[in-house]
Structure 1
């Protein structure tokens, strides 16, 4: 069995490539976007997205179906990056490393909503108002090329900003998705390897140990207080909202979540890696459960569910103090047999 050795120089090379890729002026000229993507991605690079964008099989499809409609709708769109890290993944539940290099980031797209946004067959009317859209993106590398991308935008939060509530009002605090309190989330330089390794071990203990120990009765059976600071800031997605303490996290998110999905289990993730005090994970089928209780106004469906999710964590003194969370809520509710997009009531219909 070969032993994988982390290559910090390669990781730095990948981070520089993604930083240049994300922040190039080519994004402001629609005619240049496809050429720009092909400078960094393989022709057959896979793109895994949020619902109703689920999977696109080439950079050309990414441009035509996702990027061009987005940039046409928000003609002055700017990407703000709050967290930026790279590393090699260890996302398998059995502890075996998958030895794949990733770069990930999250933040806000900001722009003026000037033209209707075409999302597949759904046309969202522009409101001529400034908008901020939560984003998270993960890029996997082989031979200095991006071969796979996972990307999430928080559509529920976006719809709330333009006045369309397609889920009940969230129990948490709506509309909060800040940069790290420590203002140190963009890791352009190498980080101390010992800190990185400790961060990776902590998250593995939390996900595959603590969370998977839930006895379906008592929240304390997971030992979350051993991992989350009592004043943890949990920045949840649209439909759930933010929780600004461990108590609020348990009451406003974890309790209703586990009533609905009591057998929830963290399985193999698409990526899980650390750099410094930060950790990132993506999983399109990495968390599974049966829907056996009410959730956000929807009765138990009895159906098997998988969660498209992305997380970033920041730890301090061995506990998590901030957690940025994406869940594809449209995909989640769709698996219960309900199309949330049908609840949108635009002039002219869907």
Structure 2
């Protein structure tokens, strides 16, 4: 199984975007995307159709605010999508869009300094065209780099996140199919462990005695969980439990899994996204915020994993936190617009 044509298309697409301007970006997109291209972006961009609409919604404002944009990829792989019976081919890219923040963006005042916008992108390629895209970026982390603390202090660490410890995440050459199958099987087994220990059903008894026992089935003890702005990153199984898993499982109730739209793997890397993956009820305390007292909210999530031997070692997570909070009545962008920078904690 080869993905060379699909990978080449996405790399050419990125190369062309690296030279695009606000005036040319719509034409650049149009060269390689389908006429009815379905683009999904985080809040406030949401779902768009076609090159012109995506350009107007995301790329023209972004390129108008950010100078000398440079895509710095840390992970790049392709594969067939398990969700549709391994029929469609997707190409995944993750890293940062580095730039000089020179003009206001989404109400955030410019710094005239380097900023690193975390991103993860899934592209479905068919017939030499990009048919579908999911583009997740970490706007909360961008705010933090601009000196805006939009949320109370969190349990994890907020920092510009590196790529894989092994520095082998750019799979420009195809990997043996058996490697991707092993990675995907491990990811699925890990997701099964989460389901087996879910406390979403009243009176349900977890399968494993402790969270550490659950994690030990599929994770190395020195695991790294590279979480999004609003939650933060954690290192080692014990700190992951303390700084992410326990708040997530105890401060979010009535968890409903909605499924994934794409799930794939190649070599030691794999991942998925959903739209939304989860629906939950914030009962109070999560991300330092009170319960909404009204209704549930959706989480759109990307997870990208690195397998090391028989277990998972690293996990990069993107959550559309602004959408999750907006569904609870908190407009973070509106609240932060025009605010003066505060001492950064990144």
Give the alignment's TM-score, normalised by structure 2.
0.90
Q: After superposition, where does 1:238-317 map in structure 2 within 5 Å? A: 238-301=229-292, 303-317=295-309
Which of 124, 127, 135 lines up with 1:151 in the alignment?
Answer: 135
Query: Match of 1:100?
Result: 88
Q: Name the CA distance, whole Å, in 1 between partners of 2:131 and 2:33.
A: 6
| Alignment of 1:45 onto 2:37 | yes
Tell me the SS of whatever aligns to 2:8.
helix
Query: Match of 1:4?
Result: none
1:65 deviates by: 1.8
Tell me the SS of whatever aligns to 1:136.
strand
1:254 deviates by: 0.6
CA distances 1:254-301 after superposition (whole Å, capped 9, x unpaired)? 100111224434442011000001002111212233333431232223
Tell me the SS of whatever aligns to 1:264.
strand
1:162 deviates by: 0.7
Tell me the SS of whatever aligns to 2:241.
helix
1:115 deviates by: 1.5
Tell me the SS of whatever aligns to 1:157.
helix
Tell me the SS of whatever aligns to 1:77.
strand
1:157 deviates by: 0.5
User: RMSD of the TM alignment (CA)?
Assistant: 2.0
Tell me the SS of whatever aligns to 2:228.
coil
CA distances 1:102-142 after superposition (whole Å, capped 9, x unpaired)? 0011101111111122x3xxx32212111111011111122
Tell me the SS of whatever aligns to 2:170.
coil
Tell me the SS of whatever aligns to 1:300.
coil
Q: After superposition, where does 1:1-350 map in structure 2 within 5 Å? A: 8-9=1-2, 11-24=3-16, 27-91=19-83, 97=85, 99-117=87-105, 119=106, 123-207=107-191, 209-216=192-199, 220=210, 223-301=214-292, 303-346=295-338
Q: Name the CA distance, whole Å, in 2 between partners of 1:200 and 1:265.
A: 22
1:26 deviates by: 5.5
Instruction: Select the structure with the greater relative contact order (CA < 8 A; seq sep ≥ 6).
Output: 2
Q: Name the CA distance, whole Å, in 2 between partners of 1:57 and 1:25.
A: 18
1:40 deviates by: 0.8
1:79 deviates by: 0.6
1:304 deviates by: 2.3
Unaligned runs of 5+ in 1: 1-7
Q: Name the CA distance, whole Å, in 1 between partners of 2:337 and 2:24.
A: 34
Unaligned runs of 5+ in 2: 200-204, 341-346
CA distances 1:49-78 after superposition (whole Å, capped 9, x unpaired)? 000111111110111121011111112111
Give the alignment's TM-score, normalised by structure 1.
0.89
Q: Name the CA distance, whole Å, in 2 between partners of 1:237 and 1:23.
A: 27
Q: Name the CA distance, whole Å, in 1 between partners of 2:193 and 2:289.
A: 28
